[in-house]
Structure 1
Amino acid sequence: MNTYWKNDPNDGSDESLWEHEWEKHGTCISTLKTSCYTNYTPQQEVVDFFNKVVALFKTLPTYTWLSNAGIVPSATATYTSAAILAALKAPRGVTAVISCANTNQLDQVFYFYDVTGSVQSGTFVPTNPVGSTSNCPATGVKYLLKSGSPAPGTTTTTAAPSPTTTTPGAPFSGTGYLEVTEGGKTSNGCIISGGTWYMGTCATFTATVSGSGFTLSTSKGKCAIQSNNLICASTVTTATVFTNSGGNLAYAGSSTFYASSVPTGSMQVTVSTTTLADSLTMVWQAI
């Protein structure tokens, strides 16, 4: 744990990260319920969870796979999302998911498995994700050095064109994701197809210019602010016209929205324009 599962020092201690991951992920795994154990000893399920996660992590040498494809940390070079995804798919035969912070900085890699049997002793089979494989731009993705890390020795790459960005104030158009920023975090989940906030895969939104603003829709239907809440559904007959405030979704002149709590696990939280406990913004990530 002290070697393989470190927290960002700016976000707190290692222990705080471990507690968060157990509460968010470990507690929702059915085979880790204490009733599933024979001769159960206290906290046995917690140990099993962390042992399995670390064991899986050791089979996923992400940095090596990227390096083998000529993708190395750099302060200046940029890469395409397709090249990164191809490098991560080659050794496993299935697609990973990549996530970018600050629009175009590679931040996280997610791998997916099907499990035959229990988490503790079952067989983990690599599988493709359901939904989008990236919220990064097609080109211009940065793979930055960790703070204090030396620059790679001799490997060089040619910088790709800078990603296309939305002009501040210009209406959103085309397809994209709504990535949530809350509590000072660069990325904290996404808005999914029903208009709710969720910590899983982002939904694809379609933005259509309407006057000086734009409307949104998803696979569920048109999106609107109804009874102070964001909703996307087939029952919405008239879509709300939103605006762009510095790349963030805005309504009635404000880009600040609210939620009663931060979602965890499979929880979905309603996004509201009414002042609640947690304030958030939603940044547009064009696809």
Structure 2
Amino acid sequence: MYSRILVPLSVALPLAAAVPLNIFCERSPIPELPTSGPTCSKADSTQLSCHNTTSVSNLCCFNSPGGQLLLTQFWDTNPSVGPVDSWTLHGLWPDNCDGSYEQFCDKARETTDITGVLQSFGKTDLLNYMNTYWKSNDGNDESFWEHEWNKHGTCISTFDPPCYPGAKKGQDIVDYTDKAVSLFKNLATYNILASAGITPSSSKTYALADLQAAIVKVHGKEATLNCNSGVLTEVWYHYNVYGSAQSGQYVAANPIGSKSTCPATGIKYVPKSGGGGGSTTTTTKTTTTTGGPTSTPTGGSGDPFSGKGYLNVDKGGCLISTGKWYTKGTCATYTATASGSGFTLKSSKGNCDIVSGEFQCGPTVSAGTFAASGGKLANGSATSFYTSGDANDGSQLSVFTTSDGRTTTLTITWQSL
């Protein structure tokens, strides 16, 4: 649930049953939140992030280098996550003005207890809301929130320690989660689309232009819309900001960096299963942030993979859509199609093959033929793959068919969906 399709620059609420607010308000101003973070004067807030005409030294009142802030949301249907009549919150991300981004910027400020921090500040209403609308697809919401703060929140300059003189430890985390939720409430994607007659359907399909038109009517700018095999899964709303991320003025911005991955036509917006109106859904998806899958791999000895599934790694995590091993994000959905005595694999990035000894998927990759042995991905008769390092530290690691001095041996199993 945590993966992104950008080029990294480094290592490169009241009631739980409440529906997100300001559904149809045209370009409603984002409410300012009281914080004990930076106090920015009017003079400090005259330049728009990514559009400043002079150098800005006070980065507690000006977002840099992450001057384009993204409010990102999920529409998870397999498994169904969150209320059936609402998208769920993914995170608040600081992208650089060229579309690249930094990540995990301050190890010292990383946390393993978002829940505890919010409780220590008496933020029970916020926490209740998050438990309904800020959902992980592996059932571990706490780890998901931690990941979003550790990876993205620590890279927003206005949350840096110098911006919080004398503040209680954790105030920056409270402000980050508070702001993400506030933005989310102002962008109820389900209702934005429904107001244009775009509703989840098992049979209808939609055009990208129609989705964007509905979003522009409320947000003011197009968003980045992402699909997996033509199925709508995610939306990214882009902003520039006057002043701090905590209490500044958010201005809708055109997307930069990665383009929408949805096709021009034939977009599937499939329904969720389960209850709506603020209910929660127990999930069983094994895209864990730590450790490996708990489900039993499918496919007997020599049986080829077929249909849709995940490629889980024995040391935890899985293969993401580029073919790299990752433990801190969403497992890519691969499509396996019979080919001779074996099968081909394809992710949202494109066909997969062994390229110069590396497992790769992408738009320029030709479809290769793979084999299986005992439910494991095989290279010929061998089921061992190799990499250097450990993806459990947050790295995205290339996977190879030969050791050549690489210190980590992996096996990759198929989990059918």
TM range (shorter): 0.5 to 0.7
Per the alignment, residue 22 of structure 1 pairs with 149
**Distance in 1 separating the partners of 2:233 and 2:200:** 12
Cα 1:38–1:92 shift into 2, 3 Å: same
Which has the greater radius of gyration?
A: 2
Give the one of 203, 207, 210 matched to 1:76: 203
Per the alignment, residue 37 of structure 1 pairs with 164
Cα RMSD, aligned residues only: 4.6
What does residue range 40-51 of structure 1 map to in structure 2 within 5 Å? Answer: 40-51=167-178
Q: For residue 49 of structure 1, give the secondary structure of its aligned residue in structure 2.
A: helix
Counterpart code for 2:172? E
Counterpart code for 2:391? S
Structure 2 segments unaligned to the other structure (5+ residues): 1-125, 278-303, 305-309, 331-342, 345-352, 372-376, 403-407
What does residue range 151-166 of structure 1 map to in structure 2 within 5 Å? Answer: none
Q: For residue 87 of structure 1, give the secondary structure of its aligned residue in structure 2.
A: helix
Shift of 1:60: 0.6
Cα 1:104–1:256 shift into 2, 3 Å: farther
Normalised TM-score (structure 1): 0.57
Shift of 1:142: 2.9
Counterpart code for 2:185? K
Give the one of 183, 191, 201 matched to 2:322: 191
What does residue range 1-287 of structure 1 map to in structure 2 within 5 Å? Answer: 1=126, 2-4=128-130, 6=132, 8=135, 11-101=138-228, 103-127=229-253, 128-135=255-262, 138-149=265-276, 190-191=321-322, 225-226=355-356, 228-229=357-358, 242-243=367-368, 260-261=390-391, 269-273=397-401, 276=409, 279=412
Can you list the C-alpha shifts for 1:206-235, whole angstroms capped at 9, x where unaligned? xxxxxxx99xxxxxxxx9834x44689xxx
Counterpart code for 2:169? P
Cα 1:273–1:87 shift into 2, 3 Å: farther
Cα 1:255–1:59 shift into 2, 3 Å: farther
Q: For residue 272 of structure 2, give the secondary structure of its aligned residue in structure 1.
A: coil
When the two structures are aligned, how many residues end up with a matched partner?
219
> Is the CA contact (8 Å cut-off) linking 1:258 and 1:280 kept in structure 2?
no
Cα 1:82–1:181 shift into 2, 3 Å: farther
**Distance in 2 separating the partners of 1:272 and 1:129:** 32
**Distance in 1 separating the partners of 2:230 and 2:199:** 15
> Is the CA contact (8 Å cut-off) linking 1:188 and 1:199 kept in structure 2?
no
Shift of 1:66: 0.2
Structure 1 segments unaligned to the other structure (5+ residues): 151-168, 170-179, 201-212, 215-222, 233-238, 282-287
> Is the CA contact (8 Å cut-off) linking 1:34 and 1:40 kept in structure 2?
no
Shift of 1:241: 6.0
**Distance in 2 separating the partners of 1:257 and 1:136:** 33
Shift of 1:10: 5.9
Cα 1:14–1:245 shift into 2, 3 Å: same
Higher RCO (C-alpha under 8 Å, 6+ residues apart): 2
**Distance in 1 separating the partners of 2:222 and 2:383:** 34
Shift of 1:135: 4.0
Shift of 1:243: 0.9
How many percent identity over aligned positions? 32
Shift of 1:105: 2.8
Can you list the C-alpha shifts for 1:253-280, whole angstroms capped at 9, x where unaligned? 699976631685xx65434335646859
Q: For residue 270 of structure 1, give the secondary structure of its aligned residue in structure 2.
A: coil
**Distance in 1 separating the partners of 2:151 and 2:384:** 26
Can you list the C-alpha shifts for 1:167-205, whole angstroms capped at 9, x where unaligned? xx9xxxxxxxxxx96579xx985439xx998979xxxxx
> Is the CA contact (8 Å cut-off) linking 1:263 and 1:269 kept in structure 2?
no
Can you list the C-alpha shifts for 1:140-174, whole angstroms capped at 9, x where unaligned? 41331342359xxxxxxxxxxxxxxxxxx9xxxxx
> Is the CA contact (8 Å cut-off) linking 1:74 and 1:145 kept in structure 2?
no
